[in-house]
Chain A
Amino acid sequence: MRMVAVWCPDWPVTTARLDAGLPAEAPIAVVTANHVVACSHAARSAGVRRGLRRREAQSRCPELAVLARNEAAEARTFEPVVAALESIAPGVEITRPGLAAIGVRGPTRYFGGETGVLHALSRAVGGLPALGGADMLIGVADGAFAAEQAARRGLIVEAGGSPAFLADLPVETLDPSGTAPLIDLLRRLGLLTLGAFAALPARDVLARFGPVGGWAHRQAGGRDDRPVSGRRPPVEFTVTLDLEPAVDRVDTVAFSARGVAEQFVTDLAGHGLACTCLELQAFSENGEETVRRWRHAGVLSTVDVLDRIRWQLEGWLSRPGRPTGGVCRLRLVPIEAVPTGAHQQALWGGSGEEDERAHRALARVQTLLGHGSVLAPVLDGGRDAGQRTRLVPWGDEPATVRSPEQPWPGQLPAPAPSVLLDPPRPAQVLDDAGRAVVVTPRGAVPHPPARFGFSGDVVAIAAWAGPWPVDERWWNAESARHVVRCQLVDVRGRAYLVSATMAVDAPPNWQVEAIYD
């Protein structure tokens, strides 16, 4: 099976870099569980390697930008590349985000030779703006594994040349992370190249190493004969409803859509599938359109599909930029389907009926007010009250960036302030003589605070505590932070958390970070 593979080196880095808005040449490492999983070229030349601990990576490359891995974003950013491959031939096989392959037998005939396919492919993926200047390598070989290895080296392996091409590669190629017990075993047996492994009789390998070993053996010998499978464009399950004449009322559309919604669900069910993520496209008669993806905690039933049609159209038809004409076409595209047996409602607690209802209502409010209007709070790590609360848009993975379990020395103990000001608002902290309170570099307060001015009025201070200096990230000029914090209680009994930067040549800029309301 002749295949073309497309490989984007350091895909986790590219995705994280695009998310963080950093330039392509910046030294970047992507970490999970405190270990580097991928790094950029600049970081690699500074000595950063996969598997290093974060501290060690930072010590080798002090200006290293450490970013957290976001696998959902990796898949999302890779989508345009997959679409470009799909424009060449159907049946794209995605190994993981960053690496995909297609069979080229059909396209070779259509484009007139492999060179034609490669030209078409580089045209299709070369101009993708979503990649932000990331590298992309293309390789052609027999079999998906050989094609992947060819893509990593940017090679075209002649037809029938795969076994010879693979023979010289080290056995670690079978599992780049090097953690599989099989690789370790092969190395200890003295089988250092794929060729040496492939020379063993297949029957003995299967008997000794089991099906996993047998499969690795087939790959090593370039006899990778598994069929191209996996992602096929789900065209056959897409349903379309044409409305003639166009309709401008949500309930009318929803009523007419009942039939197609039912067909959509039963078509999938007929193939033993159930939809968990659905793309809903609606078009107006004057060419406007709305496209939203709806992910569901469970399996979408006909009623759920209709609900989503209603919510999306309600949002579309009621917002200020509403379409000028009525809705004339609806299209339902299944984005993700699971085998019917795979999804099961939680038996105890979990996604019960109540939770389902609440999720639905929040999704509805999100449609009405826009993405990012409904937020979920996440407890994060940090020394300041503001750092310890993070809000993520509803439906996104509520992952913590910094672990709140770590000690974070210097953080204020409970109780936490109830109201956070983001950004902090300027305030006046004055001493008896009406001058701004200064904290000396040794942490002394020569003139204690006596009056406090916030949002217009100045009142006397009844009690105060502090100052507590915070000297964070002093090794990095950009993210370094050196502030003093104080707690103040004014005569009306209101308590505030204030902070200021003490500079030698400028008056202190006191600001309120949080209120103990």
Chain B
Amino acid sequence: MLDVAIRKADGSTAVDLGRRAAPPLPVAPALAPILPDGLRRGSTASVTGSLSLLLALLGAASADGAWCALVGLPRISAEAAAEYGIELSRLAIIEQPGSGWTTAVGALLDAVDVVAARPPGGRSGLPPGDVRRLAARARSRDAVLVAYLAGADEWPGADVRLSARDGQWAGIGAGTGRLRARQVQVSAEGRGQAARPRSATLWLPAAGGGVGTVPTVAPVVKLAG
């Protein structure tokens, strides 16, 4: 199905012809400021900088009933995944796809709603044709392909690129306390509706696990008297 829409300069839709019937996958409320429309089905996203960000991105969709698969990522803690809201019974992990990476990701896109994958040997380890074919497969199957990349790598043709940087841990001192929460600068840029770059400061993980919003305005303090 074609995805035709005429958009205004600020990214909002003016005329929409043949818009996809499938509703977007939900994202956690804390991620809503940077992904206001959720995860559009059939799109490709890329995540850099933090695996927690990837898990946070999958969390709300998985809790909502979507199936997720992780391909070629390092060993994920099931506990952390559950803290971000991922339903473990709907999560499949393929740690070492080996030379069958493209085949495995392609087969998974057929039926799994969100496929998060780290290409072997970075982006450059993958022929451009495969990148295009996988994006096309995700589009035709209404699945979401999330590429997890290291450092400054970029996934060509990604509809939205999420990155996390400037992590600052709270709750830990010099031999005191423990790791409680981390404040991270998360930014999203891309094309189409996501063309306008957005960014937000998030707790990733928040105290007690999960993702939370850092209030930008100082809280109103009621003075006595």
Contacts and interface: CB of A to CB of B under 8 A. Distances in A.
B111 interface: yes
Nearest to B210: A415
B104 A365 contact: yes
A365 B174 contact: no
B78 A417 contact: no
Q: Which of B96, B169, B173 has the most CB of A within 10 A?
A: B169
B107 A368 contact: yes
Nearest to A421: B75
Given A354-B65, A361-B108, A368-B104, A417 B80 contact: yes
Interface residues of A, number: 51
A84 interface: no
Contacts of B82: 379
A357 interface: yes
A293 to B, nearest CB: 20
A496 to B, nearest CB: 10
Contacts of B75: 389, 391, 419-422
A495 interface: yes
A378 interface: yes
A377 B91 CA distance: 7
Contacts of B210: 415
A375 B69 CA distance: 10
Contacts of B77: 385, 388-389, 416-420, 514
B6 interface: no
Nearest to B56: A418
A361 B111 contact: yes
A464 interface: yes
Nearest to B84: A418
Given A463-B174, A489-B179, A416 B80 contact: yes
Contacts of A374: 92-94
Contact of A378 (B51, B88, B112): B88
B81 interface: yes
Interface string B18-57: 0000000000000000000000000000000011100100
B225 interface: no
A375 B80 contact: no
A126 interface: no
Interface in B175-189: 175-182
Most A CB contacts (10 A, CB to CB) among B94, B179, B182 go to B179
Contact of B112 (A358, A368, A389): A358
B97 interface: yes
A388 B176 CA distance: 25
B79 A445 contact: no
A373 B97 contact: yes
B109 to A, nearest CB: 9
B97 to A, nearest CB: 6
A67 to B, nearest CB: 23
10 contacts: A354-B67, A358-B112, A377-B78, A389-B79, A416-B83, A417-B77, A418-B51, A419-B76, A445-B175, A517-B52
List the 10 closest pairs (A to B, CB-CB), nearest first.
Answer: A361-B111, A415-B205, A377-B78, A416-B79, A493-B167, A389-B78, A414-B209, A357-B111, A358-B67, A517-B51
Given A385-B77, A517-B50, 4 more contacts: A377-B88, A388-B77, A489-B179, A516-B169
